[in-house]
Amino acid sequence: METRRVGSSGLRTSRLGLGTLTWARDTTDEQARGTLQTFLEADGTLIDTAAAYGAGDAERLLGRLVGELARREDVVIATKAGFAVRDGKRVVDTSRRALLRDLAGSLERLGTDYVDLWQIHAWGEAPIEETLSAMDHAVRQGMTRYVGVSNFVGWQTAQAATWQKAVPGRAPLTSLQVEYSLLARRAEMELLPAAAAFGLGVFPWSPLGRGVLTGQYRSRIPKGSRAASDHFAWFVQPYLEQRSKGVVEAVALAAEGLDLTPLQVALLWVRDAPGVTAPLLGARTAGQLAAALATEELTLPAEIVSALDDVSGGPHLLRG
């Protein structure tokens, strides 16, 4: 698999990443093993997780499987801190104490002395300088090699990046993670320009529109899908509304004409969008992942890219 440089940093990753949101919950240990094995065999390197995924169980499973299937130095492990679900409620705590506690727990669960990329999971109430001081400490102590942010909006990203650049010796931001797909193009307004201005890599999550762009929901909600589950239905529902159907049908039509699957068309549009480093794939099985990996030698014709731009929100301002 082709690799890409993460922004202006020295870090390089595969141009597709493997997400672990569902590991140890909707994805069984054996499914995770098969998915990771398939990803590694395709020379994939970037694996994204978080302290909050499965209340830490996703990290435990990932640490065990990496120990069995790969050499630590051959993978790029990215994790996140500052977010948790407690008593059914989402809690964001980006204080220095909470962040460093989360990172120490992540290292223990992953069975490693360091992570390659440590990200703040969300903007919190703690002063941004306190949050970023935790990142500086983690880099100095060798707990992480690079740092980034996740789910920040444009001005938050710019403020954090500027703060880190203001004084020599601070750990510069390397990347940002954001939802980005044909059904979620808000990142083009401020986040992608901010990433370009500050030399940040971009890791889109849900590049397949929370699964809707695969076309599996065109006629019904399949049994066993995320939209049919108690804990993920809320996540998918916003993209099952009428305004999304035209985009889904356009992707399906393009896929038919190109002899590809809708998944592949939607993924290629994101993977090769300006500024993108690596979309994060939430495949639950090796079979689901295989279709995405089959895009390695493919690109979309410029005419199709333009048509998908138009139907999903208009011309991409950073494209060419």
For the four alpha carbons of 301, 305, 310 and 316, in that order, the dihedral sign comes to: negative
**DSSP E strand boundaries for the chain:** 3-5, 12-14, 17-19, 46-48, 76-81, 83-86, 89-92, 115-120, 144-150, 173-179, 201-205, 280-281
Closest alpha carbon to 94 in 82, 79, 107: 82
Q: How many domains does the chain have?
A: 1
d(CA 66, CA 75) in angstroms, rounded, equals: 8
- Residue 195 is predicted with a pLDDT of 97
Residue 284, both tokens: 């639950």
Is 104 part of a structural domain of the chain?
yes
Contacts of 264 (CB under 8 A, 6+ apart): 255, 291, 292, 294, 295, 298
Block means of pLDDT (10 residues each) for the chain, length 320 residues? 98 98 93 97 98 96 98 98 83 96 98 98 97 98 98 97 96 98 97 97 97 87 71 79 92 98 98 97 93 97 97 90
What is the separation of C-alpha 169 from the centre of its chain, rounded to a whole number of angstroms?
28
Residue 72's CATH number: 3.20.20.100
Is 214 part of a structural domain of the chain?
no
45 burial type by CB count under 10 A (0-12 exposed, 13-18 middle, 19+ buried): buried
Question: DSSP assignment, residue 320?
Answer: -
Is 313 part of a structural domain of the chain?
no
Is 241 part of a structural domain of the chain?
no
Is 255 part of a structural domain of the chain?
no
Buried/exposed code over 257-286 (b: 16+ C-beta within 10 A; e: otherwise): eeebbbbbbbbbbbbbbebbbbbbbbbbeb
- Residue 185 is predicted with a pLDDT of 97
Domain encompassing residue 185:
3-208+273-299
- Residue 214 is predicted with a pLDDT of 93
pTM of the shown model: 0.95
Q: Which residues are annotated as catalytic?
A: 53
In this structure, are residues 6 and 175 in contact, taking their beta carbons and an 8 Å threshold?
yes
Residue type, 267: L
Is 314 part of a structural domain of the chain?
no
By DSSP bridging, strand 144-150 and strand 115-120 are: parallel
Is 246 part of a structural domain of the chain?
no
> What's phi and psi for 91, nearest 5 deg?
-125, 130
- Residue 224 is predicted with a pLDDT of 66
In this structure, are residues 204 and 270 in contact, taking their beta carbons and an 8 Å threshold?
yes
Tokens 């993209």 correspond to 239
Is 217 part of a structural domain of the chain?
no
